[in-house]
């Protein structure tokens, strides 16, 4: 029923989320999520730029 993320079961994910909540605190989690989103966006942008550069070198 649940989609497994990186081979983890839902119970394991809940335990990990609880540990993250205890370690970072509730106030820091939105900031961490925002930073992860920005990092993912920059990573995708870099991959797209690299692909465009590779295509221009081939042509």
Give pLDDT tens digits for 39-56: 999 999 999 998 888 888
Asked if residue 36 belongs to a domain, the reply is yes
Asked if residue 9 belongs to a domain, the reply is no
Percent above pLDDT 70 for the chain: 88
Report yes or no: 59 and 51 within 8 Å, Cβ to Cβ: no
Residue 42, pLDDT score: 95
Structure tokens at 24: 């970072």
Asked if residue 57 belongs to a domain, the reply is yes
Asked if residue 16 belongs to a domain, the reply is no
Asked if residue 4 belongs to a domain, the reply is no
Asked if residue 3 belongs to a domain, the reply is no
Q: Which domain holds residue 51?
A: 28-59
Q: For residues 6-20, give the mean pLDDT.
A: 84
When divided into structural domains, the chain yields a total of 1
Sign of torsion, CA 11 12 13 16? positive
Q: For residues 14-20, give the mean pLDDT.
A: 88
Residue 1, pLDDT score: 43
Asked if residue 17 belongs to a domain, the reply is no
**For residue 29, how many other CB atoms are within 10 A of its CB?**
13
Asked if residue 50 belongs to a domain, the reply is yes
Statement: residue 4 has pLDDT above 70 = no
């Amino acid at each position: 029923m649940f989609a497994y993320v990186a081979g983890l079961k839902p119970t394991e994910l809940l335990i990990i989320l609880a540990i993250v909540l205890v370690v970072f605190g509730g106030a820091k989690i939105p900031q961490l999520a925002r930073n992860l989103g920005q990092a993912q966006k920059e990573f995708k942008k870099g991959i797209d730029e690299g692909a465009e550069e590779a295509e221009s070198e081939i042509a």
